Amino acid sequence: MENQQQQPQRGGHDPSGFLARLGAWRGSATPFRESVVVPRAVKRLILPVTRKGGVGKTFLAHSLADWYRDLQVAWTAYETDWSSGSLTRFLPEIKFLDIANGDAVAEIEVGFQSADVMILDGLGPLQAYIFEWLQDSRFFRELSVPVELTLVAVIEEDKDTVAQAGEAARSLDVDARWLVVRNLKTCPTTEIYNESEARQELLKRGATEIQLDRVPWNLLLLLQSSSKTLCALRDDPEVPFLERQRIRSHVEKVHAQFQLAERILLPASALRAEPPAEHHHPATATPAPLRPRVAPERV
């Protein structure tokens, strides 16, 4: 038949087919009987794409949860790594999600009923499978509200995380926002990523880049020994006052980085309106101080 659409092949990794169905789903409007367009809140789903373990995906997840709590944004999270479960140690209220068995789509649907943003952690080696699962499942077709997808690449100063980020950017042709997190826990620079083709691929896709500074060793020891998030320690009266002040200072830096990417980390309902631009009369404007120019050959 002429109007019959070609069916995608099943059984293989087909991100392009997933994009087509996802775009068609998002671009279609469900008609109401009264022909009235009712605005619906847009949810946000956050997925890591870095397969390498120990790069900071779990720390990022519970730090985001802290940030959402401070902003009073309704959030939820799922742990998908049954062999580790490290996120449930810091966030005992969250649940495991088995994407290989059971009805994970139904669980995510229930989660979005009470939350505006959802974090999936611990994908690791399941990272390639998760997109096939989303493609073959009823997830994007049957959710009661639209969902925006944010893909997160955690970068360290090594070729593994950089290569995985570039591979994901080239192969996952999905309708999503990209976030690159430079994790400086082992090295104060990300020169390998800065000069890489992976970065160029991500920037072509409009990626937002932020960085997480290394957690001081004494705070890291406290975090790991207590199994509490940084904000939980910040608000714990049992923690010594000076340590709480140090934690507060570090949390403020982390949250300031999240704020730089709030457009792709927050649900639409939580985004703040842009403040009006200030206009100064040229006669009354204070000129910016001049900085001495440094010749390029001296840098």
pLDDT 10s digits, 146-182: 888 899 999 999 999 999 999 889 887 777 899 999 9
pLDDT score recorded for residue 24: 45
Which structural domains are found in the chain, ordered by start? 39-215+262-272 (3.40.50.300)
pLDDT score recorded for residue 124: 59
Residue 285 has pLDDT above 60, yes or no: no
pLDDT 10s digits, 23-42: 444 444 433 333 333 345 78
Residue 22 has pLDDT above 70, yes or no: no
More confident residue, 146 or 261: 261
pLDDT score recorded for residue 212: 96
Residue 79 has pLDDT above 70, yes or no: yes
Confidence (pTM): 0.76
Residue 220 CA to residue 119 CA, distance in Å, equals: 22
Q: How confident is the model at residue 299 (pLDDT cuts 50, 70, 90)?
A: very low
